[in-house]
Structure 1
Amino acid sequence: MENEMRAPKAAEADGHDDVAVRIARRTLAARGAGYADEVRRLLDAGLAVMDRCGTESRPRVADIVAEAGLSNDAFYRHFPSKDALVTAILEDGTSRLGRYLERRMARAADPEARVRAWVGGVLAQADPDVAATTRAVLWNGGGTGGLAAGRHPASATLAALLVEPFAALGCPDPAGRATLAAHAALGRLADLLWAGSAPTPADGEALVAFLLASARPG
């Protein structure tokens, strides 16, 4: 009888717990959405301030939070340091570049055309309208540990996109050769960026020829 009398209270407690869990989850979801918005604003603000500073000076946290319209508390809630934000900007840029190349390659009709689309998208990062931003981000990233010496942050992501077309072209080691091809392409991109030169059609054709030769057997 004693257990029977306590059962409704236990059930009632469980019901209260269900309500508490639902409310807690709703609160966390709302807070998470707000935090995601803060992070996006900080990433975009950091990129904008880097673009203005170029390679002459490094942005300050004060400049970034002012650009974002947020407080120092909001900044340090998500990033332990300015270097951590720069690393996140590098990761965000890599993700955006990867999606951009995927869209270009998806419109190509065959493996060779996909390689051409990939090359065109990579070299487009040295076009005058985006080169200054690309250069500023890489320059800032060089002192954070987010960039290993001699390694572009997008190398693995970009190499992965070449594996499928290389395999379709009969490459005996598509993953390995795609990695080498990505390093070659990003090296050429770096040459153009630091020379302040826009890519020419000849640059694209030479790189396409090199990648196709690397991909084909023999």
Structure 2
Amino acid sequence: MSSKAILPGEPDPGGTDTAETIAQQTLAKRGAQYANEVRRLLDAGLDVMRRCGTRSSPRVSDIVAAAGLSNDAFYRHFASKDALVAAIIEDGAARLSGYLHHQMAKASTPEMSVRRWVEGVMSQAADDDIAATTRAVLWNGGRISDRLGSSRPSHAASLAILLREPLAQLGSADPETAATLVAHAAVGVLSDFLWQGVQPTRAEIDHIVEFCLAAVTPRSVTTEQPEPGQASAR
């Protein structure tokens, strides 16, 4: 049986392309490097933002210095400082969602799961350092929306997703809508605590939990339909 010799530069049809393998390895290394740079910029940006508080907006030069990176590294990942601030807000929301999910997983009942969710959200105002950081993030987020002419960023929707399952287990006829309403109400109350510089009391947290549980409309309760020709009440 004759065999055909594989010439240099000619890919082996039955094997792995060495060039492709090396290219993928290079991309993987570069991807890991870039991910590390982004994480350092996010953490440094949050740290500088915390130190600036609500007095001033962090500068790119301060952020890259704190991250130990260059301006080139910054603009490789973010088109502007506003883009970094938006990413910090998104990263913070993801971290909070992860924390809430972890706390809710410890609950043995849907009622306790809702309580864990409320306590986790309100924990952003229960500690002075965390409250100061969250307040600075919200302040910078508001400045972004003012410059761009957009609405202030709100992550109530992402937090609401965590409430759908326990509210459904409690018999909600529309857990998605109920979770959204509850989340927006809770985030609004949290915002009040943050800007007033006060910590929620145990009684206040209990009241918020009661409100959340009261938002559950049993499946057996149906909405009365308007008669023909009548507009539905809004």
TM-score, normalization by structure 1: 0.92
Q: 1:135 to 1:204 in 2, by over 3 A?
A: same
Alignment of 1:77-92 (within 5 A): 77-92=76-91
* Residue type at the aligned position of 1:91: E
1:56: how far off?
0.3
Match of 1:106 in 2: 105
Match of 1:38 in 2: 37
Match of 1:144 in 2: 144
SS at match of 1:97: helix
Alignment of 1:30-179 (within 5 A): 30-127=29-126, 128-145=128-145, 149=151, 152=154, 154-179=155-180
The CA distance in 2 between the partners of 1:132 and 1:147, in whole Å, is 25
Question: Does 1 or 2 have the higher relative contact order (CA < 8 Å, sep 6+)?
Answer: 1
* Residue type at the aligned position of 2:30: R
Q: Is the 8 A contact 1:169 1:216 kept in 2?
A: no
TM-score, normalization by structure 2: 0.86
Gaps of 5+ in 2: 222-234
Q: Provide Cα deviations, 1:5-57, integer angstroms capped at 9, x if missing partner.
A: 9x645796113980000000000100110010000000000000000000000
Q: Provide Cα deviations, 1:47-91, integer angstroms capped at 9, x if missing partner.
A: 000000000000000000000000000000000000000010011
Q: Which has the higher helix share?
A: 1
* Residue 14, structure 1, aligned to residue 11, structure 2: yes
SS at match of 1:14: coil
The CA distance in 2 between the partners of 1:65 and 1:147, in whole Å, is 27
Gaps of 5+ in 1: none
The CA distance in 2 between the partners of 1:144 and 1:115, in whole Å, is 32
More displaced stretch, 57-66 vs 195-204: 195-204
* Residue type at the aligned position of 2:195: W
More displaced stretch, 207-216 vs 41-50: 207-216
SS at match of 1:199: coil
Q: 1:132 to 1:208 in 2, by over 3 A?
A: same
Q: 1:110 to 1:192 in 2, by over 3 A?
A: same
SS at match of 1:215: coil
The CA distance in 1 between the partners of 2:149 and 2:179, in whole Å, is 20
Q: Is the 8 A contact 2:161 2:176 kept in 1?
A: yes
The CA distance in 2 between the partners of 1:148 and 1:50, in whole Å, is 21
The CA distance in 2 between the partners of 1:13 and 1:51, in whole Å, is 57
The CA distance in 2 between the partners of 1:11 and 1:65, in whole Å, is 46
The CA distance in 1 between the partners of 2:8 and 2:71, in whole Å, is 46
The CA distance in 2 between the partners of 1:83 and 1:106, in whole Å, is 35
Q: Is the 8 A contact 2:171 2:217 kept in 1?
A: yes
The CA distance in 2 between the partners of 1:19 and 1:97, in whole Å, is 43
The CA distance in 2 between the partners of 1:148 and 1:188, in whole Å, is 22
The CA distance in 2 between the partners of 1:80 and 1:92, in whole Å, is 17
Match of 2:202 in 1: 201
Q: 1:147 to 1:25 in 2, by over 3 A?
A: farther
